[in-house]
Amino acid sequence: MKLDQIPRLPLVFGPTPVEPMRRYSEALGVNLSVKRDDFTGFGGGGNKVRKLEFLMADAVAQNVKVLITTGGHQSNHARMVAAAARHFGMHPVLVLRGNRPTEYQGNLLLDRLFGAELEFLDPDAYFDEIAPRMQAHADAATARGEAAYIMPVGGATPLGALGYVQAVKELAGQYAAAGRKPPQYIATAVGSGGTLAGLAIGVHLFWPETRVVGIAVSGSAVPFVERIAVMATAGGELIDAGRGWTADDIWVETDYVGPAYGVPSDAGNAQIFRAARDEGVLLDPVYTGKGMAGLVDIIAKGKIAPGSDVLFIHTGGSPALYPFAAVLNRD
Ligand SMILES: Cc1ncc(COP(=O)(O)O)c(C=O)c1O
């Protein structure tokens, strides 16, 4: 099948804009632009809306009534899944990594507004318990006669990854319409890896000269490059992309996680201030701040040559600014 033949329910308020980052470009000695996927709109926006276009088409086709997923306390994915569930008349169940909070802020607040059923798993037990707990919610729904759908963390499935193949197709159209050559590099934050997998397939199909670099914002038991190569290969098979990917084909920088996933880093926070004050762009402390910190550093280290045309995918996440007010509320 071709990309256009895979069922997709439009959710993105797009095409999302591509904007120059003029002060960054001048300071870094590259031509930096940003794809505003923080403005995909639906459910508060962010990269997951693109994956959900494909995943919700699958869920709706199965007449799903209960939509189950997981993530951290400030999971943008979980928040957008809750919104998508409501949009299609489903009941959202979020099994989140973290103890029951005393305060519901940021994405947790939005999860509650969407009326999601929330379960919290102790962080130390999470990796053992998450699969059986999500399955238990699915089994309970099935016993009630309701079809359930378990969406893995980050919507990181080969089908979900197609959202970022679609994004590169959208970009190729935008650049062509503006008479611009494709960028030499695309950079993005990496969590579950679905976005990077989709970008890898997308550039193969639409911008074969463009290199994709991911900045990891968490650790990974299986190295990112291996997991993402497998996901890209499986996603590519869905649309007859005509090639497979190995770990050597995938570029992920892993030095910019900071203290831990979900814990702000000094370098990431510095980029939150810089992007806000230099460009009027809101990054976030969990994903895009760290992603930008990585991009700035690899440019400084010469891994991306001076003068290159670089596109940063702004994947969203601004709801997570608010729970971190204590570290960000300064001059
Ligand atoms: C704001 C933001 N940026 C980046 C990512 C990472 O995307 P992926 O999980 O596809 O690697 C996520 C997903 O968790 C996100 O919410």
Confidence band, pLDDT 50/70/90 cuts, at residue 331: confident
Q: Which residues are near ligand 1 (CB < 6 Å)?
A: 46-47, 76-77, 154, 156, 189-196, 287-288, 315-317
Pocket test for ligand 1, best of 75, 162, 287, 288 (most atoms within 8 A of CB): 287
Residue 330 has pLDDT above 90, yes or no: no
Token pair recorded at residue 66: 């209960």
DSSP string, 142-175: HHTT--EEEEPGGG-SHHHHHHHHHHHHHHHHHH
Kindly report, as residue ranges, where domains of CATH 3.40.50.1100 are found in the chain: 3-47+156-328, 48-155
Query: How far from the centroid of its chain's Cα atoms is residue 192's Cα?
Result: 8
Question: Which CATH class, in words, describes the domain spanning 48-155?
Answer: alpha beta
Are 187 and 295 contacting, i.e. CB atoms less than 8 angstroms apart?
yes
How far apart, in whole angstroms, are the C-alpha atoms of residue 140 and residue 148?
9
Expressed in angstroms and rounded, the spacing between residue 47 Cα and the centre of ligand 1 is 7
Expressed in angstroms and rounded, the spacing between residue 39 Cα and the centre of ligand 1 is 14
Expressed in angstroms and rounded, the spacing between residue 143 Cα and the centre of ligand 1 is 33
Q: Of residues 33, 75, 192, 218, which has the active-site annotation? A: 75
- The atom of ligand 1 lying closest to the CA of 154 is 9
Pocket test for ligand 1, best of 192, 254, 314 (most atoms within 8 A of CB): 192
Among 53, 102, 103, 62, which residue's Cα sits nearest to residue 80?
53
Give catalytic status of residue 75 as yes or no: yes
* pLDDT tens column, 74-110: 999 999 999 999 999 999 999 999 999 999 999 999 9
Are 252 and 225 contacting, i.e. CB atoms less than 8 angstroms apart?
yes
Expressed in angstroms and rounded, the spacing between residue 316 Cα and the centre of ligand 1 is 8
* pLDDT tens column, 207-256: 999 999 999 999 998 999 999 999 999 999 999 999 999 999 999 999 99
Predicted TM-score (pTM) above 0.85: yes
How far apart, in whole angstroms, are the C-alpha atoms of residue 12 and residue 6?
16
How far apart, in whole angstroms, are the C-alpha atoms of residue 46 and residue 111?
15
CA distances (Å), origin 194, targets 10, 22, 88, 321: 19, 29, 23, 23
pLDDT, the chain, mean: 97
Among 58, 48, 57, which residue's Cα sits nearest to residue 82?
48
CATH of domain 3-47+156-328: 3.40.50.1100
* pLDDT tens column, 124-159: 999 999 999 999 999 999 999 999 999 999 989 999
pLDDT computed for residue 324 by the predictor? 96
